Structure 1
Amino acid sequence: MNETKNAVIESVKLTSDDHGCLSAWLFLDYGGSGQGFGGYSLYLPKSFTHHKMNGPAGHFIWRCMEVAGVTEWSKLPGKTIRVRGDRGGIEAIGHIVKDDWFCPRADFEGADHG
């Protein structure tokens, strides 16, 4: 069962370590426990058969920054957000006050990234 709770963004990471594709992570602190949000494939390099020049990277990065109320990725750590999910994973992140939620699965479902 999904629940909504507050979290502080502890750190962020843009990486190609996971399977060689670009992904972004927000590492969240619930005050005694933590969880990661992200891991979506945001860009596939030319070495991948499904490589395309455009993809979901911009949308994912933009929405994370928008929900946290920042204009720079490096300013995400320390911001408080809301989180909807459970121990199995995070479904969405939301602005701490506004009713503004980012649910990557819903946003990217059926999207043509090419």
Structure 2
Amino acid sequence: MDIEIKNALITGATITNDDHGLLTAWLHLDYGGAGQAFGGYSLYLPKSFKHHDPIGPDYTGHFIWRVMEIAGVAKWDELPGKTIRVKAGLSAVNAIGHILKDDWFNPSADFDEMKAKHTPPAA
């Protein structure tokens, strides 16, 4: 998969629980005629889910904080209209970056690192 770095305008930002009953967040991106979405990670599993972990890593807070930090906003509702950079292929946006600084957020990498720090070593 060819990854390309390009600029994107955030046209919308959604936090929802309607995708299979778990909490997710999305950025809707416009590349100037074409668009793509970033997000869809499971940020929180309700108690009814088998893998619910009330003391696990704070994926939700980390995701929201890093998205806002990358876009340079203090409120989630300020995201639309902000320009960011993306590392994306045809099927997915892998990371988002600050438009001027060399600061990138790759949720898959960050969440793997958070999970590894939270998981106790095998006995």
2:89 alignment partner in structure 1: 86
Structure 1 unaligned runs (5+)? none
Indicate the SS of the match to 2:7: strand
Larger Rg, first or second structure (1 or 2): 2
1:22 aligns with 2:23: yes
Q: Which amino acid aligns with 2:73?
A: V
Structure 2 unaligned runs (5+)? none
Indicate the SS of the match to 1:65: helix
Q: What value does the CA root-mean-square deviation take over the aligned residues?
A: 1.3
Aligned equivalents of 2:50, 2:80: Cα separation in 1: 35
Spell out, residue by residue over 1:60-80, the C-alpha distance to the aligned partner (whole angstroms, 9 max, x if none).
000000000001000000000
TM-score, with length taken from structure 1: 0.95
Indicate the SS of the match to 1:36: strand
1:66 alignment partner in structure 2: 69
Aligned equivalents of 2:41, 2:101: Cα separation in 1: 25
* Larger helix fraction of residues: 2
Q: In structure 2, which of residues 100, 116, 121 is the aligned counterpart of residue 97 of structure 1?
A: 100
1:47 alignment partner in structure 2: 48
User: Which stretches of structure 1, 4 residues or more, deviate above 6 A after TM superposition?
Assistant: none
Spell out, residue by residue over 1:18-76, the C-alpha distance to the aligned partner (whole angstroms, 9 max, x if none).
11100000000001010000000000011112112253000000000000000100000
**Aligned-residue offset at 1:6:** 0.2
TM-score, with length taken from structure 2: 0.88
Give the aligned length: 114
**Identity in percent:** 61
1:108 alignment partner in structure 2: 111
